[in-house]
Amino acid sequence: MKTVDIIVPCYNEKPGLELFYNSVCAVIKGIEGYEFTFIFVDDGSRDGTFAVLQEMAAKDPRVKYILFSRNFGKEAAMFAGLSHSSGDIAVLMDADGQDPPAMIPQMLAELENGYDVCATRRVTRKGEPAVRSAFARTFYRLINRAADVEIVDGARDFRAMKDYVVRAVVSLGEVERFSKGLFSWVGFTTKWLEYENIERAAGETKWSFAKLFGYAIGGMVSFSAWPLRFASYSGAAISVFSLGFFVYSLIKNIIHKNDVPGYASTMVMLTFLGGIILLALGILGEYVARIYMESKRRPIYVAKSTNIEDE
């Protein structure tokens, strides 16, 4: 009998939490040879999510929970769940109903077939705003060209992992986490399952465009030095251009001795160079900020309450 921990990050998921729980229970009750445990991580919800979790835990001893002292973000919630996982297999799922529980039996079967990880990806983005979809596709193209690891387009956090994969991911103790990149970085054989986008069962998405943009920047900075190289290459290109422009101006001034430089061209050059300088400083600032946050060695999260007993 193998044990499976279903890890579920939650943030203001009260409207659909019981619906999610019931739908997963309906699937796992038909899977033989496995014992299941739920690990819900309440990421500082303010809508009564924790009260629902307490009620569920009182009725079902398989339900475990961790309550954060405040909102630390989904990355911290996933890390907390994985850190407390003691099963042979860990399954990461979102509580919004966009991860179909019906795929769990197939995911477990793929692990039995010898894969270390069974992950999922969306093949469509139906129901998403067009701007967000275009931004997501652009992000995946850019990061796969720049990063040392491959991040599959449309990859979800919904995945099943064997215990040694979980330990490898948890051992990466960086504070500023980008799990999609970490999952790829640790390696292991992975089976990808595809499915079409599913809209939320209840509630509203917590990911605004601004948050997604910041998440994308964080992923780029965490797994690529390409932005720094871009700043260096831009500076070198501008230096060569400036030298060529100087030679051109010198020759032109010799031929036309009374030539007067134009105001417009001067302003264009100044604003262009100023923009490049600010861009380079901004890129450096992102990396310095990462170094600063990591150097503090603060905990990734702070737990306020849990019903998981320490082993």
| Domain-embedded: residue 162 | yes
In this structure, of 245-259, 275-289, 294-308, the range with the lowest mean pLDDT score is: 245-259
- 185 with 232, same domain: the answer is no
Considering the domain boundaries, does residue 215 fall inside one?
no
Averaged pLDDT, 284-304: 78
Whether residues 10 and 92 share a domain: the answer is yes
Quick check: is 290 in a domain?
yes
Instruction: Give the CATH number of the domain where residue 27 resides.
Output: 3.90.550.10
User: For the chain, how many structural domains are there in total?
Assistant: 2
Work out the percent of the chain whose per-residue pLDDT is above 90: 33
Tell whether 197 and 259 lie within a shared domain.
Answer: no
More confident residue, 245 or 17: 17
Tell me if 105 is assigned to some domain: yes
Is the pTM value of this prediction over 0.85?
no
Q: Give the DSSP H/E element, type plus range, for residue 65.
A: strand 63-68
Q: 182 and 54 in one domain?
A: yes
User: How high is the pLDDT of residue 107?
Assistant: 93
From the list 291, 92, 78, the residue with the least C-alpha distance to 176 is: 291
Together in a domain, 284 and 302: no
Asked if residue 95 lies in contact with residue 116, where contact means CB atoms within 8 angstroms, the answer is no
pLDDT, tens digit (0-9, with 9 covering 90-100), for 116-169: 999 998 877 665 666 666 666 776 676 666 666 777 777 888 999 999 999 999
pLDDT of residue 213: 61
Question: Are both 133 and 246 inside the same structural domain?
Answer: no
Residues 288, 302 within the same domain: no
On the question of pLDDT at 61 being above 60, the answer is: yes
Please check whether residues 259 and 184 belong to one and the same domain.
no
Domain enclosing residue 16, as ranges: 2-208+298-306
Specify whether 148 is located in the same domain as 253.
no
The answer to whether residue 140 is domain-embedded is yes
Sign of the alpha-carbon dihedral angle for 38, 42, 46, 50: positive
Alpha helices in the chain (DSSP H): 14-28, 49-59, 74-83, 104-112, 130-146, 163-171, 179-185, 209-223, 226-255, 263-296
In a domain, 214, yes or no: no
Establish if 262 belongs to a structural domain. yes
Cα-flanking dihedrals φ and ψ of residue 212, to 5°? -65, -40
Query: Which residues on adjacent β-strands are paired with residue 63?
Result: 38
Q: Are residues 25 and 97 in the same domain?
A: yes
